[in-house]
Chain A
Amino acid sequence: MTGNALVVAGIVTLAAGTYAFRLSGQLLRARITFPPRVTRLLEAAAVILLAALVATTALTEGHGFAGFARPAGVLVAGVLAWRKAPFLVVVLAAAAVTAVLRLLGVS
């Protein structure tokens, strides 16, 4: 295979596999009748996954620490969200705090 064909094969593999992941959870859910307690647990599992995603994308880059600017922005966003600030304010504050810190030389 030429280089390009191999790259296309890689993209198709990634796309098809990702679609399979997206579909298989739903198929399981449709096939099995879960008691309400398990249903709540499945929803909590998604929240845990998302929280872990927040932690890793806020604090890490590759295998290392992402620097202070980004987690500081996300922390400010978290405090604002906890205090029920509007979504727009929360998200823009994250970007603004991070950008200002970087402007000041904090990586």
Chain B
Amino acid sequence: MRSIWRTLDRTVLTDIGLTCLAVFFIGLSYGAIAVASGFPLWLPAVQSVLVLAGASEFLFIGIVAAGGSPIAAALAGLLVNSRHLPYGLALPPGVTGRRWSRLPGTHVMNDESVVFALAQPDLRRKRAAYWACGLGVLACWPGGAVIGGLIGSAVHDTSAFGLDAMFPAVILALIVKDLRDARTLRAALAGAAIALAATPFLPAGLPVLLALAAVLLLVRAPAAAASTSPGEEPAVAQVRTAP
């Protein structure tokens, strides 16, 4: 633990802290919504610790509250969480821990911990950022869910504070560095377009997976990209601000 504080500079730690605070607030609304939907407090508490993946938990309580089967809800949640498989492929070995520490290290894999790890320049700092964010989310998500469940309706309408805009903003802020590469940006925009086009028709989770098809844009010869990249910058900047 102590090595985390020594390895990461203050800015990264502050960013992780803010991200965890945002997760805490979303957790508040999750706990409040679960209890308001008629579930006992233990359900969001237990689920937030064991599953530790927000979107799938919202979906689970939504489906069960609407009268759906809990098993069908679990399968829908698994579809949403399938993106963790490519996350594991993207992380360099050792980031989630070695030997026994990999067991808890695997559990704290989520959008936030992965994106902070990817943003760090070397393995030591990737590992520190991954664990700091992963453990922070492990504390803040269930903590928020329990407190939200206890105070209930007081925090039911978190949309008034714009908290729902924080999650996409956090992720976007952290991948912007990668998006400055013209080819990655083009593939990311294509992937986003695929996911958006598929959203009205497919169950939750599947559209984001389909976005992976945009990786094909990056498979082709790297030589072609090297020769075109300088002239492409203005066009790319325009595309970025258009949507």
Chain A residues within 8 Å of B, Cβ to Cβ = 6-7, 9-15, 17-19, 21-30, 37, 39, 41-60, 62-64, 66, 69-70, 73-75, 77-79, 81-82, 87-88, 90-91, 93-100, 102-103
Min Cβ gap B206→A in Å is 11
B82 cross-chain contacts in A, Cβ below 8 A:
21
Closest to B208 in A: A52
- Using A21-B84, A95-B161 as known contacts, list a sample of 7 further A-B pairs with CB atoms less than 8 Å apart, ordered by residue number in A: A6-B71, A11-B70, A13-B75, A13-B78, A18-B78, A45-B90, A53-B111
Closest to A51 in B: B188
B interface bracket (residues with beta carbon within 8 Å of A): 35 or more
A7-B64, A18-B78 known; A25 vs B86 contact (CB < 8 Å): yes
B18, B77, B172 — which one has the most chain A CB atoms within 10 A of its CB? B172
B87 cross-chain contacts in A, Cβ below 8 A:
22, 25, 46, 49
- Within 8 Å by CB of A51, from B71, B83, B192, lies B192
A44 to B243, CA, bound (A): 21
Tell whether, in the assembled complex, residue B173 and residue A77 are in contact, meaning their CB atoms are under 8 Å apart: yes
Tell whether, in the assembled complex, residue B199 and residue A51 are in contact, meaning their CB atoms are under 8 Å apart: no
